[in-house]
Amino acid sequence: KNQVEQSPQSLIILEGKNCTLQCNYTVSPFSNLRWYKQDTGRGPVSLTIMTFSENTKSNGRYTATLDADTKQSSLHITASQLSDSASYICVVGGNDMRFGAGTRLTVKP
């Protein structure tokens, strides 16, 4: 079983709508959690990073939350744009790094 589980696997929303992506992990010990965005045909790019003492971090229209007690994180996208269409990957750092399988988001006009 993967130590980092993301849901949903894929998501389709209309432009302008909000959405929330989930990441649950069992990685221990835990030191940090990072969300990456991967556009089709490109390498992933970091959006946010949080340590165990942080419970929210924003980057423009992207807001990540972390609950280290329940080992859950979410990425909220506000007022989605067509360019938000991508895969969003949750990566949890501990003794090494564990990748989630990603959520494929499609924003339609």
Partner 1 sequence: GAGVSQSPSNKVTEKGKDVELRCDPISGHTALYWYRQRLGQGLEFLIYFQGNSAPDKSGLPSDRFSAERTGESVSTLTIQRTQQEDSAVYLCASSLGLRQEGYEQYFGPGTRLTVT
- Where along the sequence are the contacts to partner 1 (CB under 8 A)? 31-32, 34, 41-46, 49, 51, 89, 93-97, 99-102
Query: In the structure encoding, which two tokens stand for residue 44, read together?
Result: 């992933």
Smallest distance, partner 1 to C-beta of residue 54, A? 11
Smallest distance, partner 1 to C-beta of residue 56, A? 17
Distance CA 19, CA 11 (A): 9
Neighbour-count burial of 87, counting CB atoms closer than 10 A to its CB (0-12 exposed, 13-18 middle, 19+ buried): middle
Amino acid at 80: S
**11 vs 94, beta carbon nearer partner 1:** 94
**46 vs 106, beta carbon nearer partner 1:** 46
Smallest distance, partner 1 to C-beta of residue 79, A? 25
Give Cα separations from 69 to 5, 12, 14, 48, 65 (angstroms): 16, 30, 33, 19, 12
**8 vs 16, beta carbon nearer partner 1:** 8
Smallest distance, partner 1 to C-beta of residue 30, A? 10
